[in-house]
Structure 1
Amino acid sequence: MPPKTKGALQLVHRDVDEIKKQVDRLVKEVKEVKEVQSRDGSTEEAFRRCQELQMLVEKTQRTLMKLTKADESAPVGNYDRRKQEEETRLQNIWEQVNSLSLELSPPGPSSAAAGAVSKEDNEEDDDDEDEDSSDEDDEDEDEDEKPAVKPPSQSDPHVYTALSDFTGEQEGDLSVQRGEVLRIIRRAADGWWLAQDANGKRGVVPKTYLKIGSGVDDEDDEDDDDDEDDDEEEEEGEELTDDQEEKSSPHSNWSTVRKALTEIDTTDVLSAMGAIPSGFRPSSLNKLLVEEGKTYRGSHYVQPELSQSQLSFSDLFLDPDSGRVRSRQVRTCVCFSLWSCRMIPSPGVGVQVLSRHVRLCAFDGSQVLSNIHTVRATYNSKNPKTWSFSPRMTGVLPSLLDGDCFLRCKSESPNLGILFELGVSFIRNSTGERGDLSCGWSFLKLTDDTGNPLPNRTCELPVNEGTPYEKEAVKEASATRGSPAGVFHQMLQNRRQPKLIVKLKSSNRRTRTQLSLLPDSLLHCLSCVPLLVLHRQLQADSLLMDRPTMQNADLIFSPVLSTFPELLDQPDLLDALRRVWRDAENNMSRAQKRDSSFVKHEFLKVYTSSVYFLLHSPSLPRHRWADPPSEEQRARVIYANGEPGEPAGPEVFVDATRQHLAFDITELTFDLLRVAR
C-alpha cells in the first residue's frame, strides 16, 4: 500500500516543529556558554546560526501565507483555524529568534560583516596579511596603527566610485565623499551594499550613491556602466530566489534586523516577518492625507475657489432674484452606495486591527481630483473577510459609517472615475507602533466606452493588488492558478476572489437641487448635504453681499465660516451638529422652515451654542484617526450635557466651572486670502 501523502499545511507544521527544535537547541547552547563564561570563538558561530534560523522562519512564513485550501490534496477540517495556529507559532518563534539575535549581534554591520565576505575576498585578505605578518611580528603592537590594505585595481569589477557625499546616519553606515574609490564586498538585495574604503574601514552604502569604475568624470563609459550596473542589480538584487538567499551570507538579513531595531518602517518589518498578506502595501491615499496637509481634505474643498484673475470666484455665485446661491451643473454628479466587500484578507499575527475602512476619491488614472473621503466598515468576528457598510441603527447614523455618498467633479477627463482603496489601521503588539495598510484597490469608471454616463446598477469591482500608481500590471489578490477546468470551477474561483460591491443609484429632486448648490468638486456622505448647503449659503451672504466691494479682502467676522470646515475633518463633531440641527428643525413650523432668514439665524444660534464651544474646549482631546481611547473620551465630552446632541447654551461661555482655551482671533474671523482655493 503506497504511503499516504501529506498535505501542504501538514508539511509546514512539520517544518515549524523542526525550526522550534533548532531554536530551543541554540538557546540552550548559548545559555551554557554564558554559564561557563567562555564566549571566545562561540559568539560568531551562534550569531551565524541565529541569522540562518531567521531566514528559515521568514521563508516558512512566506510559504504559509501563500497556502490556500486549494493546495491541499485532501479536505482539511478547520483549515483557517489550523493555519492561524501555525502563524501564531511562527510569530512566537520569530520574536524568540529576534531577541536572541539582538543579544548576540555585534556592535554594527561593519564588524560583523567580516564573516560575510566571500571566499575569494577572504583569500585575498589572507594573502595580504601573510605578506605583512613578518614585519608586524618584529614591531610592537600599536592600537592606532591601520591595517595594511591592498589598493583596489582599476579594472576590478568590484571597484566603485562615490557619485556624491554620503554621511552615515546609523551605526554600521560608511561615510564616503564624492570621488572616493570603494571596493564592494557584498551586494544586498535591499540596496545597501557592504563596501570598504582605502583605509580598510567597512560599512554599508546605498547603491544609488555608487558608480562602477574608478572615475567620476568618465563620460565615455557612462552609458555602458549604467547598463552593466542595472544588469547587476537585476541579477543580484530583487530577483534573488529563496535558495540563493539561504546560500548567501548569514548577514544578508541585516537590513531587516536594523529596521526592526530602529523601527524605521513598520510595514517593511512586518513584511519581512510574513505578517502581511501578499498584495498589501502602505496606503497611498493615507500618505496624501498625512503629508499634504489639508490639500486633500474636505475642509479644503468646501472653501470657495478663486477665478483665474484672483478677483472673483469661479464656483460661488448668487441668484439675483432669490438672493440664494445659484445652482451650478458640473460634468459629473453621481450618487452611490458602498454595499460590502468580501474575501478581504486580514493582517497576520503580531498586529491588532484598529479600523477597517475604504478611502475614496475622484481619480483619472494619474491624479486625485477631489478630497479623500473615508468610510469605516463593520464586520463580524466570525467572518472577518466580509466587510459591510451603513449598519442599521437607531438615531442618526454616524457619518463615518455612512456608505451613501455623492461625488461632484468638474473634470473633463474621459477616464474619470472613483478610486476605492481598502485599508486597515493597525498597531503592532510588540512595539505599540501604528501603521496604515492598503489591502487593495478598485476603480469604477463613470462613463462607458462611448463617453455616456453609466446607468444605475450594482457593480462588482475586483480588488487589485499593489497601488494604482504602480506601472507594472497588477493581478487580483486571489488569482487562480492555471486555467479553470469548467464553468462550475470558474464560479467557485470567482467566489474566492476579493470583490467590492458598489451601487450606483438615483436621487430625488430635492437632493439633486441641494447638490447643485455645493462646490464643483466634492465627495462626501449624503446625510451631511443639508449642513453643507447651509454653510454654502452663509459663504455667499458674507462674500458676495456683505462685503463693501469685491476687491475688499479684510477679515470677516463669522464664527461659522472660520470653524465649520474643521468639522469635516472631525466626524464626531459633525454628527453632534447634525443631531442638534435635526432637533431644532423638528421644532420649527412650516412657515419658519420656508423663511430662509429665520433658518440661517437659528443655525447660527445652534452652531455657536454647541460644537463651536466644543472646538475650543481643553477637555476635548485632539482628534486622532483610529484611536479608540481618544474616540471614547471625545464622545464623553461631546455628549456630557444630557441627551446626545443637546446644545450647551450660551451660558457655557461665562460659566466659571468650565475651562476654555486661550482666545485666538482666528476663532471669530474668516480670512479669505488664506483659505480660498
Structure 2
Amino acid sequence: MPPKRKGPLQTVQRETDDIKKQVDSLIKDARQSDVSGRTEAYQSRCIHLQNLVEETTRKLKKLTKADEPAPVGNYDQRKMEEESRLRGIEEQLLVLVLELSPPQKHEGGSSQAQEDEEEEDSEEDSEEDESEDESVEDEEDVVTKTTEQIPESGTATYMVISAFKGEQEGDLTIQMGEVLTILSKNEDGWWLAQDSKGNKGLVPKTYLKRYSDQDDEDYEDDEASEDEDEEIESKRMHSSNLDSVRRAITEIDATDVLSAMGAIPAGFRSSTLSKLLDEGITYRRSHYIQPELSQSKLSFKDLFRDPDTGKVRQRTARTSLTLTLWSCKSIPTPGVGVQVLSRHIRLCAFDGTQVLSNIHTIRATCNANNVKTWSFSPRQMTGNLPSLLDRDCFLRCNLDTPELGILFELGVTYIRNSTGERGDLSCGWAFLKLFDANGAPVPHRTYELLVHGGTPYEKDIEVDPSLTRGATGTGMFQQMMLSRKLPKLFLKLKSPNARTRSQLSALPDTLVGSLSSIHLLVLHRQLLADALLMNRATMQNADLICSPLLATFPEIMDQTDLLDALRKSWLEAESNMKRSEKRDLPLLKRMFVRVYMDNIYPLLYSADLPPPRWADEMVENQRARVIFASLQTTSTQEPFHTHTDSPPRHQAFDISQLTFDLLCMAQ
C-alpha cells in the first residue's frame, strides 16, 4: 500500500508541533535550573526559536487551499488555528526573554559611563550636525548612552501633571501637582526624580511639565532632546532582535499571556472592577456611606433629620430595588496550570461609560462535578450567613440618566502554579438596563442575561468562541441548541417590602450592598445625623468629633468578617431586649454603641488580627479564629487567653481611632 501523501498544511502543523516541544523544553530548563552564567545561552535559544516561528508563520500565510494534493475539510479554520498556535508560542518566548533579561528602563549608566559621557559632551556639541548623517550602527551606540546627568547648579524642577503609581522596584510614586527635582534624564523617557520628602526613583517624562524657567538653556536642550528621543526611538526598533523582544513583552498583558498559553478562554480579560477597587476607596462602600456635602459645601446633600421624630428624614431615590442572584450557567473555566481561589460576581450601578456607585461583591460556589455552573447562597434562615455569600442585595441610586443599569462582572481570583502569581480575571459581564426607551422602570421579574466576553467597553466579544464553533443552521431547533451552550446569568428583580423600603429611604442616595446588613447601616446613619446635625455647636463648625464608632465604622464596611461579627453581636443583644425597648430609639442607639465598642472596636486594632487579603484561605481562617475568640471572651466574660495561645496584643494608639474628621470624611 503506497504511503499516504502529506499536504503543505500538515507539514506546517508538524513543524509547529516540533517548535512547541522545543519551547516547552526550553521553558522547563530555564525555570527549573540555575540560569546564572548561562543566560546568554538561553537567550540565544529563544531568538533561534523565535526565528523559526517567524519563518513558519510566513510559510503558513503563503499557503492556499489549491496547494493541497487532496481536499481538506475546514481548511480556512485549520489554518487560522495554526496561526493562533504560532502566536501563542511566540508570546511564550517573549515572556521567557523578559524573565531572563531585566527591563531596560532600569538600566542606568554606570559611574564610568557617566564620566565618559561628561568627557564627550563637548565633542557631541561640535559634531551635532555630522551625527545626522551617521549610519544606523552609529546611532545604536548613541542609544546605549542613556543617561544625561544634570549639574547641581542647573537642577531642573518639573510639576507632575498626572498621578503615576510605581509599578516596579525603583519607580517613584507621584501625585498630581507635586514639584519634583530632576536628577538625571534617560533617553528612553524615564527620568530620575526626587520629591519634596527626599524619595528618589524613576518617573515617565510624559507625566511632567516644566515648572521653572530659570534655566532657559536647559529648557531648550530639553525640547531638542525630546525631538531627538522620537527619532532615536523609531530607529531603535531595528537595533537588535533581543531589544524588539523586550519592547514587545512590556505591552503584553498577563491575561494575553495566559490566553496565548491556552490557560484561559479568549474572551477572558483582566477584571475591570477589581482594578477600580484596588485604586483606592473611591468605589468602596466605606466611601459611599459617608455624608455628601451640598454644592456650597455649607450643608449636606443627602443627610437630614426630622425634628419631630428625631429620626433621619427619609429620601426617595429614583431607583430603589432589591435583587436576588440565582445562578450562572455554562461559564468556562481556566485551564491547566491555573488554580481558582475564588469565584464571584461584582456588581454596581453603570450607565455604559462609568461606574456610578460602590462595587459590591458576592462569592459564588460550584460543584466539583460541574464547575461551569455557579450557584449562590440558599435562602437565609438564621441570620448568621456571611454577607459575602448573601445573594440578596439592594441597589439605591438617585442619578437621572436614561442609560442607568446594573453591571455584573463574573470574575475569578487565580494563582499560577508555576510562578505563584495571583490575579483577577473577568469571565464575562452582563448588563441589565433599568429603564426602557420611554423612561419607565423595567418590570420586577426573573431575568436571563447573556454573558459577554471582553470588558464592558467592548462589544460583540464571545466569552469562549469554541462554544459556537462549528454551529450551523438557522432553524429554531439549532438556535435553541446554540442558546443552551452560551453563558448566562439568572437573577430576579424585586420590589422591597414596606419595612425594607423604609430602611432604604434612610440610607445615602447611592449605595449597593447586602440586605442582611441594612439595619446596621440605618443605625450608623442615625448616629451620624445626631453628631452632625444636632450636637454640633453650629453648622459651620468643623472641629473634630469625639466618636470612636463614627471614626472607625467605615473600616468594617470593607472587612466583611468584622461586619458579620457586628451583625451577630447585635442580633444577640436584640434578642435580650423587650418589645418596648426595641421601639425606644435613644435606647437602641446607646445599645448599638455599647455592642460596637465591646465587640468590634477592640478587634479593629488587635495586633493578632492579620490584615485582610482577598481570597487567601489561610488569612481568612486566621482572622476567623481571632474574631471568634474575641466574641467568646465578650459573651462569656472569660479571659481572652482561655480561647487563644497568648494574651491579646494591640496596635499603637492613634488619635484618628477616636475622632471623626468631618472635612476628611465627607464626600
Q: String of CA shifts for 1:320-370, please: whole Å, max 9, x gaps.
A: 211111111011101111111111112222222111111111111112111
Work out which of the residue numbers 307, 319, 322 in structure 2 matches 1:335. Answer: 322
- SS of aligned partner of 1:390: coil
Report the Cα distance in structure 1 between the residues aligned to 2:476 and 2:557, rounded to whole angstroms. 48
Q: String of CA shifts for 1:388-414, please: whole Å, max 9, x gaps.
A: 112467751111111111111110101
Work out which of the residue numbers 559, 562, 580 in structure 1 matches 2:548. Answer: 559
Q: String of CA shifts for 1:526-567, please: whole Å, max 9, x gaps.
A: 111110111111111111111121111111111111111111
1:660 corresponds to which letter in structure 2?
Answer: H
What is the match of residue 302 of structure 1?
289
- 1:375 CA drift (Å): 0.9
| 1:662/1:494 CA distance change after superposition, 3 Å | same
Report the Cα distance in structure 2 between the residues aligned to 1:651 and 1:3, rounded to whole angstroms. 85
What is the match of residue 122 of structure 2?
none
5+ unaligned residues in a row in structure 1: which ranges?
31-36, 60-72, 74-88, 111-147, 155-160, 185-191, 197-201, 205-248
Report the Cα distance in structure 2 between the residues aligned to 1:270 and 1:21, rounded to whole angstroms. 18
1:570 corresponds to which letter in structure 2?
Answer: Q
- SS of aligned partner of 2:226: coil
- SS of aligned partner of 1:177: helix
Work out which of the residue numbers 387, 390, 407 in structure 1 matches 2:377. Answer: 390
1:547 corresponds to which letter in structure 2?
Answer: R
2:393 corresponds to which letter in structure 1?
Answer: C
Work out which of the residue numbers 345, 354, 371 in structure 2 matches 1:367. Answer: 354
Q: Contact 1:266–1:433 at 8 Å: present in 2 too?
A: no
Work out which of the residue numbers 236, 239, 249 in structure 2 matches 1:195. Answer: 236
Q: Contact 2:412–2:425 at 8 Å: present in 1 too?
A: yes
Report the Cα distance in structure 1 between the residues aligned to 2:29 and 2:287, rounded to whole angstroms. 62
What is the match of residue 50 of structure 1?
49
Report the Cα distance in structure 1 between the residues aligned to 2:187 and 2:102, rounded to whole angstroms. 21
Matched, 1:661 2:651: yes
- 1:509 CA drift (Å): 1.1
| 1:401/1:102 CA distance change after superposition, 3 Å | closer
Matched, 1:424 2:412: yes
Q: Contact 1:371–1:523 at 8 Å: present in 2 too?
A: yes
Give RMSD over aligned pairs.
Answer: 4.7
- 1:23 CA drift (Å): 5.9
Work out which of the residue numbers 519, 524, 527 in structure 1 matches 2:508. Answer: 519
| 1:13/1:506 CA distance change after superposition, 3 Å | farther
- 1:288 CA drift (Å): 1.3
Work out which of the residue numbers 424, 442, 452 in structure 1 matches 2:430. Answer: 442
Q: String of CA shifts for 1:574-626, please: whole Å, max 9, x gaps.
A: 01111111111111111111111111111111110111110010000011111
Q: Contact 1:341–1:498 at 8 Å: present in 2 too?
A: yes
Report the Cα distance in structure 2 between the residues aligned to 1:585 and 1:666, rounded to whole angstroms. 30
2:49 corresponds to which letter in structure 1?
Answer: C
- SS of aligned partner of 2:489: strand
| 1:449/1:2 CA distance change after superposition, 3 Å | farther
Report the Cα distance in structure 1 between the residues aligned to 2:611 and 2:101, rounded to whole angstroms. 43
Report the Cα distance in structure 1 between the residues aligned to 2:242 and 2:188, rounded to whole angstroms. 26
Q: Contact 1:421–1:440 at 8 Å: present in 2 too?
A: yes
Q: String of CA shifts for 1:158-189, please: whole Å, max 9, x gaps.
A: xxx9xx9742669xx9x9932338888xxxxx
Report the Cα distance in structure 2 between the residues aligned to 1:417 and 1:596, rounded to whole angstroms. 36
| 1:448/1:394 CA distance change after superposition, 3 Å | closer
Q: Contact 1:58–1:274 at 8 Å: present in 2 too?
A: no
Q: String of CA shifts for 1:116-139, please: whole Å, max 9, x gaps.
A: xxxxxxxxxxxxxxxxxxxxxxxx
- 1:20 CA drift (Å): 6.2
2:277 corresponds to which letter in structure 1?
Answer: L
Work out which of the residue numbers 663, 668, 676 in structure 1 matches 2:666. Answer: 676
| 1:640/1:150 CA distance change after superposition, 3 Å | same
- 1:444 CA drift (Å): 0.5
- 1:195 CA drift (Å): 1.7
Q: String of CA shifts for 1:245-287, please: whole Å, max 9, x gaps.
A: xxxx79865556678xxxx953343234332311111111111
What is the match of residue 345 of structure 1?
332
What is the match of residue 440 of structure 2?
452
- SS of aligned partner of 1:504: strand
User: How high is the sequence identity, in percent, across the aligned residues?
Assistant: 56
| 1:169/1:650 CA distance change after superposition, 3 Å | farther
Deviating more after overlay: 446-455 vs 476-485: 476-485
1:527 corresponds to which letter in structure 2?
Answer: S
Q: Contact 2:12–2:56 at 8 Å: present in 1 too?
A: no
Matched, 1:410 2:398: yes
Q: Please show how residues 265-280 of structure 1 align to structure 2 within 5 Å.
A: 266-280=254-268
Matched, 1:401 2:389: yes
- 1:511 CA drift (Å): 0.9
- SS of aligned partner of 1:346: coil
Q: Aligned pairs, how many?
A: 527
Matched, 1:575 2:564: yes
Q: String of CA shifts for 1:649-673, please: whole Å, max 9, x gaps.
A: 69879x9942211111111111111
Q: String of CA shifts for 1:88-142, please: whole Å, max 9, x gaps.
A: x99x999998999789x789999xxxxxxxxxxxxxxxxxxxxxxxxxxxxxxxx
- 1:58 CA drift (Å): 12
Q: String of CA shifts for 1:368-389, please: whole Å, max 9, x gaps.
A: 1111111111111221111111
What is the match of residue 484 of structure 1?
473
Report the Cα distance in structure 2 between the residues aligned to 1:29 and 1:410, rounded to whole angstroms. 58
Q: Contact 2:472–2:478 at 8 Å: present in 1 too?
A: no
Report the Cα distance in structure 1 between the residues aligned to 2:391 and 2:2, rounded to whole angstroms. 56
Q: String of CA shifts for 1:26-54, please: whole Å, max 9, x gaps.
A: 89999xxxxxx9x9x99887444433577
Work out which of the residue numbers 624, 627, 632 in structure 2 matches 1:638. Answer: 627
Matched, 1:607 2:596: yes
- SS of aligned partner of 1:362: strand
Report the Cα distance in structure 2 between the residues aligned to 1:497 and 1:26, rounded to whole angstroms. 38
What is the match of residue 180 of structure 1?
228
Q: Contact 2:366–2:374 at 8 Å: present in 1 too?
A: yes
- SS of aligned partner of 1:384: strand
Report the Cα distance in structure 1 between the residues aligned to 2:367 and 2:593, rounded to whole angstroms. 41
- SS of aligned partner of 1:406: strand
Report the Cα distance in structure 1 between the residues aligned to 2:652 and 2:501, rounded to whole angstroms. 42
| 1:585/1:24 CA distance change after superposition, 3 Å | closer
Q: Please show how residues 222-237 of structure 1 align to structure 2 within 5 Å.
A: none
2:287 corresponds to which letter in structure 1?
Answer: H
Q: Contact 1:304–1:519 at 8 Å: present in 2 too?
A: yes
What is the match of residue 188 of structure 2?
167
Report the Cα distance in structure 1 between the residues aligned to 2:28 and 2:559, rounded to whole angstroms. 54
Matched, 1:288 2:276: yes
1:294 corresponds to which letter in structure 2?
Answer: I
5+ unaligned residues in a row in structure 2: which ranges?
31-36, 59-72, 74-84, 106-129, 137-142, 144-184, 192-203, 205-221
Q: Contact 2:97–2:246 at 8 Å: present in 1 too?
A: no
- SS of aligned partner of 1:322: coil
Q: Contact 2:322–2:395 at 8 Å: present in 1 too?
A: yes
Report the Cα distance in structure 2 between the residues aligned to 1:431 and 1:402, rounded to whole angstroms. 33
| 1:4/1:389 CA distance change after superposition, 3 Å | farther
Deviating more after overlay: 441-450 vs 20-29: 20-29
- 1:489 CA drift (Å): 1.0
Report the Cα distance in structure 2 between the residues aligned to 1:406 and 1:646, rounded to whole angstroms. 32
Q: Contact 1:377–1:389 at 8 Å: present in 2 too?
A: yes
Q: Contact 1:424–1:439 at 8 Å: present in 2 too?
A: yes
Q: Please show how residues 256-271 of structure 1 align to structure 2 within 5 Å.
A: 266-271=254-259
Q: Contact 2:332–2:372 at 8 Å: present in 1 too?
A: yes
